[in-house]
Structure 1
């Protein structure tokens, strides 16, 4: 969308564009969830990269809307999550070991988008810090839910945090290189 088109678009046109972008974001999340490395109890995927990237590229409202749409699709039983069969398990899957991380996705997209809006996307270093912070947000509800579900006597940090640290550092670096350019392009064109 050109700057002129963005400035002259009617409210319904802007809403339709935003809805299509949120749908595309939820589809990207689905694809990222399907390329997984099985790991117990939480699989390794690229979804955290996409969640943080959606926030950095689309801002807090639209990035969070894309993640919310993805979660609603999963809750409705669509096979959007990692390891869900063709007919998804919906809320039952969301109540499992990854449930807290799924909630963390919403928070991370919002935080990454807010930090991008406040200028954290101006340099790769600042974008990296924003991506790290947003990524860390995912672990708060994720580990809390994992401990509640499996029991605090289990090695929760060894299962739900430690295996992911190096990968998340790499994903944050990649997000810092890729998504701020998208945010700058979208905002320079008048936003969505």
Structure 2
């Protein structure tokens, strides 16, 4: 199974949007995606060993469907909303809001959403959303962009003498695998269906 990464593809929402989509249409799309990310932060599904949240899945989905420009723009808007005090992050307002929350122990994961959306959008543009294997690899790259700054930030916040990996990585791996399998199967199918519908 091979893929031609030198030939730019069209991301999923690029198939739905007219190439001459107005700035207003793109702005509305970015705001809707930011709202979807807000909603995903509030969803928790019972899972072992920790509840399954939809936020990281939504970040990667936004990147792979919106592309390398609009995807990070939606994530940046979401982070801005949280920074000014809107209760958009998981656990807000109960666990705090605004910059105090953004700069807390989980701040590195939140800031990692930006490069995650960007790398997933960049890879999707190069056709990595065409089949489950390449979609899964793109999602792994996106997750790495979240976990690397998240774990580094957490280590500095709580101290490297603490079990940083046991707190900030290992409990979430089973859920991430489940989300990866779901997205790796559904995203190529959805793109193929949309592509056929647009060509009719």
What corresponds to 2:27 in structure 1?
19
Matches of 2:145 and 2:185 in 1, distance apart? 20
Matches of 2:171 and 2:55 in 1, distance apart? 15
Aligned residues: 182
Which consecutive unaligned segments of at least 5 residues does structure 1 have?
Answer: none
User: Where has structure 1 moved over 6 Å in runs of 4 or more?
Assistant: 1-5
What corresponds to 2:109 in structure 1?
101
C-alpha RMSD of matched pairs (Å): 2.9
Alpha-carbon contact 1:55-1:112 (below 8 Å) kept? yes
Alpha-carbon contact 1:100-1:142 (below 8 Å) kept? yes
Structure 1 segment 1-192 matched on structure 2, within 5 A: 6-7=18-19, 9=20, 14-36=22-44, 45-85=53-93, 89-181=97-189, 185=194
After TM superposition, give the deviation of residue 142 of structure 1 in Å. Answer: 0.0
For 1:88-143, what per-residue CA distance to the aligned partner results, in whole angstroms no more than 9, with x for missing partners? Answer: 61100001111000011111100111110111111111111111111121101000
- Normalising by structure 1, we get a TM-score of 0.84
- Normalising by structure 2, we get a TM-score of 0.81
For 1:133-168, what per-residue CA distance to the aligned partner results, in whole angstroms no more than 9, with x for missing partners? Answer: 111211010000000000000000000000011111
The structure where helix makes up a greater share of residues is: 1
After TM superposition, give the deviation of residue 177 of structure 1 in Å. Answer: 2.5
Which consecutive unaligned segments of at least 5 residues does structure 2 have?
Answer: 1-12
After TM superposition, give the deviation of residue 36 of structure 1 in Å. Answer: 3.4
